[in-house]
Amino acid sequence: TSRCISAAQLKSVRDVLYLSGPDLQRRTALSCSEVQELLTAAAAACRRHRPTTALQLHHSERQRSKSSLRLSAACPVLDLLLRGGLPVGAITELSGESGAGKTQLGLQLCLSVQYPPEHGG
């Protein structure tokens, strides 16, 4: 396999990934399954992080929710409803009718996040 790749003058992973499967087959004389393995290996070599499954995300989210930091909403009533504030590192959706205070809460959170942790930041 490596001789076929060298003979086709493919010197880098980029050279391999630049070509389509059929083009690689023509240039290297490898079988379809060998080309697929080559493309998979080349793509894996380019990844910085391994792919994460939905189950792994779910488990990590459960672990984080048990021991995560919370950002105070600077309102004792809201903090009580939110079980200590908004979870840090998570996405929280705010909804409500016009004038309910969504923007005001967002602005307050922008300020709160700048406070030191001992002051609810």
- The number of CA neighbours under 13 Å toward the Cβ of 21 is 10
Q: How far is CA 50 from CA 16, 43, 65, in A?
A: 20, 11, 23
* pLDDT given at position 32: 92
Reply yes or no on whether the pLDDT at 5 is more than 60. yes
β-bridge pairing 86-87 and 70-71: antiparallel
pLDDT, tens digit (0-9, with 9 covering 90-100), for 37-89: 999 988 888 877 777 788 887 777 666 665 567 888 888 998 898 888 888 87
Reply yes or no on whether the pLDDT at 119 is more than 80. no
Look at residue 88 and give its three-state secondary structure: coil
What pTM, to 2 d.p., does this model score? 0.43
